[in-house]
Amino acid sequence: MSPSGATPVGRSVPHESAPLHVSGKAQYIDDLPEMAGTLHAAPGLSTCARGRIRAMDLSAVRAYPGVRCVLTAADIPGENNCGPILHDDPIITGDLVEFYGQVIFVVAAETREAARQAARLARVEYAAEPPILDMDSAIAAESWVLPPFVMTRGAVEQAFENAPHRLSGAARLGGQEHFYLEGQISCAVPRESDTIHVFCSTQHPTEMQQMVAHALGWRSHQVSVECRRMGGGFGGKESQSAQWACLAALLAVKTGHPVKLRLDRDDDMVATGKRHPYQYRWESAFDDAGRILGLRLEMASDCGYSADLSGPVNDRTICHIDNAYYLDAVALRSLRCKTNRVSNTAFRGFGGPQGMFVIETVLDDIARHLGLDALAVREANFYDVVPGARSTTPYGMTVEDNVAPALVAQLADASDYGARRAAILAFNASSPVIKRGLALTPVKFGISFNATHYNQAGALVHVYTDGTVLVSHGGTEMGQGLYTKVRQIVAHEFGLPLEDVRLSSTDTSRVANTSATAASSGTDLNGKAAQAACQHIKARLAAFVVELVQGAVAAEQVRFVDARVQAGEASAPLFDDSFAALVMRAYRARIQLWDAGFYRTPKIHFDPQTKLGRPFYYFAYGAAASEVAIDTLTGECRVLRVDVLHDAGRSINPALDIGQIEGGFIQGMGWLTSEELWWRPDGPQAGRLMSHAPSTYKIPTATDLPDVFNVRLFDNANVEDSIHRSKAVGEPPFMLALSVFMALRDAVAAALPAGQSPRLEAPATPEAVLRALGCLAPEDGA
């Protein structure tokens, strides 16, 4: 138990499942004991990127030993769709094939091995058509999943006419595989009276509930979805888990048996969406200090074959092209390209990183053009600290909490940026092969869902007669520590030790109409909802105490601390009893000891048509200074040192937050350096993903960590009334890794003629570095 009067909020307590994680006792869906008669499913995937199925012979599939059921699109009794917004994403495609790896049938067998072997026996004849496999081809064909969006803010033409300097440029940015440790998995269990319970590794149980109901032709109250924990999500289990949940449920209802569908890693990477790749063209107008006066920007995203979440992803990109910088005049064209690749989806940052990437590249080029230090140019473009003339974003929101200038200045001083910059210049002048680079970049990331209606949450809190507490809420745990923080919040409210509070699995039959655990808002929303439920219960208990002392104290004088309830003066309380004893007395007095809590984020509004409003409750800030070295002969790079200062508000759990910062940074570093997705560009297997396993797709390992990695939290209470004045920390640290890429550009530039901007594409693989150095020919396509 914590020291007398100490609160669990603000303390670095271990993750609530940490002992289970390290001992192997944490139960994920594949660890749950299988019910008798459980069948195992495997999908049959297309081997054509675009075309129509002329003939499909599944007789060998059905005849394979152990196979119990095979379903095609014709066997779906309800709606054949798993698209979260537009109904353009079939659970099982019919005769139209739109990407290599699309589900064309599904098998259920007595063992997983039998199902997978049987799925390979299908004989399919295609009428193939030329696929669109890159953004340039999509733009030329005007192939869109959603119409282009055009936005103009400010006097753009006038800004360009009057600006002393102009510059243009282009860039490409690759996608990213989620590479969660636990792949996509669902286990559907049919129950009585046409009901079904689905154990699903998902960030969005309510959406899974709705999709399964639609696929079965049922209603929501016939379906319940449960998730205790995921082995990682990163956005890849927000909408993309629906297809696999639906397939498992369809097979379970058809066979009358529980059905588990766990994708093989290769199939998972081929058949599920990824971070959207982007490409950009821009023109900038700026003054002698590098301050941007006008910006024309065209950005295209590869959405894949269907819309999925590409609309809101691109909207969030639009809302982050400013990052921490004031843009007075902007002309923007956003293209949402339809290609014959898997439909891309949510990924940590949800389009925000792609917006920040382009503005950081623009500023980097401006600094090099003017011969100025890039940090000085970035600082010259910051929003005003006190809201004024330079405080309104391109989407019309006033920045009221800008701590970026102070945070960046503090990090520049702590990381010894100035002296290291001079040392690196001296090193590069004397080193013909190894070149070093340094960059310090900020992050300003908006917290809330752009879709305003998702900014709500519910929680259910039960207080039992022995004084222990059970909490259910709508958020899902994917390793980020949401359950731990909610546990701390509830323990704080009741003045209890953490061991007296337990979190139950997230289940749509307990808390309904939940929002996805996404947009970094899990603790903000569910923590507030749980707090509200606790406060309802506390109010009744406090009123009961007042009744017990016959009105000698006011309810406001009742305190819950150290597992006791006291009223009156602390030195001589009129009432003092253990929490458990008071709860038992309240039960006997027929006082309600459970309650539901609800929270809706205040102040926010956003028009999805005009892209104007206040989409975010507040901003989370951070900055990172990264030093790198490249080998100009091989293109290899190393990250030598990283210094991070991040704004988590009044942190609920500093240890968890620092862990999120470290993990987010390394994941972002992988996106920008080593994680390259590659599809065959032509031939009979055109459109086939070849980087579909750890052997060909390289996430960072322990050896890729910088030798020096300093992470600190910035001392800054949230100006808004967030839960305990904390700030979200799930997504913002990911974008701190932009400092690594900008440092690599700095190192490449050191090997080029003075003033020449490097044409370095992301990810900055050794081949990309060599191309930027002019040692390899440019690569065609994306």
- Where in the sequence numbering do the catalytic residues fall? 731
Q: What's the token pair of residue 127?
A: 């009428």
- Enumerate helices (H) and strands (E) in the chain, giving the number of each: 19, 29
With beta carbons less than 8 A apart as the criterion, state whether 100 and 692 touch.
Answer: no
CA distance 564 to 582: 9
| Rounded CA separation 716/726 (Å) | 9
Q: In what order do the strands lie in the sheet with 96-97?
A: 96-97, 51-57, 123-128
Instruction: Decide: residue 505, CB within 10 A, 0-12 exposed, 13-18 middle, 19+ buried.
Output: middle
The label of the residue with tokens 């640290």 reads: 733
Which pair of tokens denotes residue 428?
A: 């590069």
Q: Are strands 637-646 and 564-567 parallel, antiparallel or unpaired?
A: unpaired
Q: Are 306 and 370 in contact (CB under 8 A)?
A: no
* Three-class DSSP labels, 410-423: HHHHHCCHHHHHHH
CA distances from residue 646 to 42, 196, 276, 517, 674 in whole angstroms, order as listed: 43, 44, 26, 22, 24
DSSP 8-state symbol, 535: H
Contacts of 489 (CB under 8 A, 6+ apart): 9, 527, 530, 531, 534, 652, 723, 724
**Is the separation of the CB atoms in 276 and 354 below 8 Å?**
yes
Peptide bond into 763 cis (omega under 30): yes
The β-bridge relationship of strands 469-473 and 501-503 is parallel
Runs of H (alpha helix) within 304-463: 310-318, 352-370, 374-380, 404-414, 417-430
Amino acid making up residue 567 = A
CA 498 to chain centre: 28
Which of 534, 713, 717 lies closest to 12 in space, CA to CA? 713
In DSSP terms, 223 is beta-bridged to 196
Long-range contacts from 289-292, C-beta under 8 angstroms, 24+ separation: 289/372, 289/376, 289/377, 289/380, 290/363, 290/366, 290/367, 290/370, 290/372, 290/376, 290/377, 290/380, 290/381, 291/380, 291/381, 292/325, 292/327, 292/328, 292/362, 292/363, 292/366, 292/381
Q: In the structure encoding, which two tokens stand for residue 655, read together? A: 């240890």
The answer to whether the beta carbons of residues 408 and 440 sit under 8 Å apart is yes
Map 249-278 to HEC letters: HHHHHHHCCCEEEECCHHHHHHHCCCECCE
- Cα gap 174→385, rounded to integer Å: 34
- Burial per residue of 576-595, b for 16 or more beta-carbon CB atoms within 10 angstroms, e otherwise: ebebbebbbbbeeeebebeb
The beta strands (E) that lie in 22-66 are given as: 39-45, 51-57
Q: At 454, list the tokens.
A: 């998702």
d(CA 638, CA 769): 12
Taking Cα atoms as reference points, which of 701, 757, 670, 714 lies closest to residue 353? 670
